[in-house]
Amino acid sequence: MSARSVSESTFDAEVLQSARPVLVDFWAEWCGPCRMVSPILDQIASENVDKLDIVKVNVDENPNLAMQYQITSIPAMKVFKSGEVAQTIIGAKPKAALEADLAAFLA
Amino acid sequence: MRNVIIIGSGPAGYTAAIYAARANLNPVLLASSVEAGGELMNTTEVENYPGFPEGIQGPELMTKMQEQAERFGTEVILDDVTEVSLGGEVKTVKTGYSGDFEAASVIVATGSAYRKLGLADEERLSGRGISWCATCDGFFFKQKTIAVVGGGDSAMEEATFLTRFASKVYVIHRKDTLRASKIMQDRAFANDKIEFIWNSEVVGISGENAVDGVTLKSTVDGTESHLELGGLFIAIGNDPRTHLFHGQLELTLDGTIAVDGRSSRTNLPGVFAAGDVIDPTYRQAVTAAASGTVAALDAEHYLASLEQEANHNPEIASAVAATV
């Protein structure tokens, strides 16, 4: 299962208004580490379907979202809870490290 | 038990895998979960790897090396090594979530990791204006004034690349001459957007939620000054990635894994090392690849000698039969 993409037009409904926490993976085609972390996030998503939603934002296609959330390094993963950023993880990490960072949302 | 485990997936690791696989050793290559492909994954155009007169993109070169290694039967596993036990005849390598691997020989090709400035605010502002990867993060610094710290090839490459996005790129260097190759220096000098700040080191980084400037200290007279910046790229070199092997493999004074002469043999029988992790000097894709070849040939020779020994000593023949 691959995480679905959200865009500037769907971000509000799919992320900010979501009843569940949503992890947004800010990425781009040209970012090697993003390609490495993407399948790991897909795994975490499929193992935690009832706890955490995971979506992707392509920063090339959605520069305003990247600017609004002050992205200066990707992959950048932000967990949104009730419309607010509850956690930020920057850089590709192994699965166990990501799970540890996200423990509060996966419990 | 396997013949050979290769740790690392840069040019040294993949080249070792190509040779080992072609020698029918069925290598397993532990490539790391998020840094597979190594340092070249963070570069753009590679112009000095023979056989590619038009140049080749770093990530593409690494994909090709992986394909070539897999073509001859290398098993590539995208996972991180967490612990090794290399002293005995059977070497054990533990991974994050792919289980444990055992082999008669191990090739260490773990490369090197970016060196940090070692400043108080560096960690806090990492990914918030501080970056070690221009190709990854340059996009976010459009029309900003930024700086690159360093005087080597990678600093020049990053500075030149970043002028595609930034309006101004300072290069901050401790000395008044560069370590970078002539062609990389000339490119940087010819670029109107690049300005050099010589004889200066970064002693402080400021910014609440994002980098807004640095404090520079003159290496000549010690005077300090402030420079406003929208981003800071650090390219001051690399340190060999040896933490997994401390206490097992001997290191040199440079911090690289010690090998015997021009071979890849470490202090432990059956353990070989190749690439940037043994090389404090040259650190090129092509020298790493060559070094990977040496390691594969040394490992092949070692495994053959084990087999020969077993033929003369029936007691260990059964143990080796499982290997070969």
Interval B229-252: pLDDT, tens: 999 999 998 899 999 999 999 999
Quick check: A76 and B96 CB within 8 A? no
Q: What is the pLDDT of residue B62?
A: 94
Q: What angle do CA B144, B150, B153 make, to 5 degrees?
A: 100
Domain that holds residue A97: 4-106
Average pLDDT, chain B: 94
Residues A33, B210: C-beta atoms closer than 8 Å: no
A92·B135 Cβ contact <8 A: no
Banded model confidence at residue B33, pLDDT cuts 50, 70, 90: confident
Q: Which of B234, B269, B292 represents a domain boundary (last residue)?
A: B234
Contact B59 A32 (CB under 8 A): yes
Residue B123 belongs to a domain:
no
Residues B148 and B229 in one domain: yes
CB-CB contact of B28 with B2 (8 Å) = yes
Please compute the mean of the pLDDT values over residues B207-222 and round it to a whole number.
96
| Residues of chain B neighbouring A66 (CB-CB closer than 8 A) | 140
Q: Based on the structure, what is the number of domains in chain B?
A: 2
Q: Has residue B85 got a pLDDT over 60?
A: yes
pLDDT given for residue A30 in this prediction: 82
Chain A nearest CA to B79, separation (Å): 8
Pair (B266, B174) in one structural domain = no
Same domain, B230 and B257: no
Put simply, whether B143 touches A (Cβ < 8 Å) is no
Q: Residue B44: what pLDDT?
A: 77
Query: Of B183, B217, B234, which residue sits at a domain end?
Result: B234
pLDDT at A100 over 70: yes
Residue B21 lies in a domain: yes
Regarding whether B261 and B213 lie in a shared domain, the answer is no
Q: Does B177 touch chain A (CB under 8 A)?
A: no
- Cβ–Cβ contact B291 with A under 8 A: no
Q: What is the DSSP letter of B166?
A: -
Percent of chain B residues past pLDDT 90, beyond the cut: 80
Q: Mind listing the pLDDT tens digit for each residue in B165-177?
A: 999 999 999 999 9
Strand pairing category for B224-228 and B213-218 = antiparallel
- pLDDT at site B203: 97
- Closest residue of chain A to B32, computed from CA coordinates: A94
- The CATH number given to whatever domain includes residue B194 is 3.50.50.60
The string over B242-265, giving b where at least 16 C-beta atoms fall within 10 Å of a residue's C-beta and e elsewhere, is bebbeeebebeeeebbebeeeebb
> Which residue, B234, B252, B270, sits at the end of a domain?
B234
**Residues B208 and B134 reside in one and the same domain:** yes
Answer whether residue B304 shows pLDDT above 60: yes
Query: Quick check: A1 pLDDT over 60?
Result: no
Q: What CATH number did the domain enclosing A19 receive?
A: 3.40.30.10
Decide if A37 and B137 are in contact by the 8 Å CB cutoff.
Answer: no
Q: Each residue of A74-83: b (16+ CB within 10 Å) or e?
A: bbbbbbbeee
Taking the CA of residue B129 and the nearest CA in chain A, the distance in Å comes to 6
Flag if B34 and A33 touch (Cβ within 8 Å): yes
Whole domain around residue B170: which residue ranges? Answer: 130-234
> Nearest-CA distance from B320 to chain A in Å?
35
**Residue B40 gets which letter from DSSP?**
G
The alpha-carbon gap from B141 to the nearest alpha carbon of chain A, in Å, equals: 7
What distances in angstroms separate CA A6 from CA A56, A57, A75, B56, one per listed residue?
6, 6, 16, 33
Q: Residue A20's pLDDT is what?
A: 93
Q: Is B138 on the interface with A (CB under 8 A)?
A: no
Say yes or no: A59 contacts chain B, CB-CB below 8 A. yes
Give the Å distances, CA to CA, from B27 to A16, B4, B56, B127, B245: 48, 5, 27, 36, 20
Which pLDDT score is estimated for B221? Answer: 97
Q: Tell me: do B109 and B243 sit in the same domain.
A: yes
- Shared domain for B245 and B202, answered yes or no, is no
Q: What is the pLDDT of residues B268-294, one digit of tens each?
A: 999 999 999 999 989 899 999 999 999
Domain count, chain A: 1
- Say which residue, A72 or B304, is predicted with more confidence: B304
Structure tokens, A62: 């959605």
Residue B119 lies in a domain: no
Are β-strands A53-58 and A22-27 bridged in parallel, bridged antiparallel, or unpaired? Answer: parallel
Q: Does residue B316 have a pLDDT over 80?
A: no
pLDDT at position B54 is 95
Average pLDDT of the segment spanning A67-81? 93
> How high is the pLDDT of residue B246?
97
Sequence-distant (6+) residues with CB within 8 A of A105 are: A21, A23, A51, A52, A79, A81, A86, A87
3-state secondary structure of B68: helix
Residue B121 lies in a domain: no
Please report whether residue B120 resides in a domain: no
B126 to chain A, any CB pair closer than 8 A? The answer is: yes
Instruction: Report the residue of B34, B124, B232 to disrupt the A interface, i.e. the one with the largest count of A CBs within 10 Å.
Output: B34
What residue type is assigned to position B222 of the chain? G
Q: What's the alpha-carbon Rg for chain B, to the nearest Å?
A: 22
Examine the domain organization and report whether B221 and B264 are in the same domain.
Answer: no
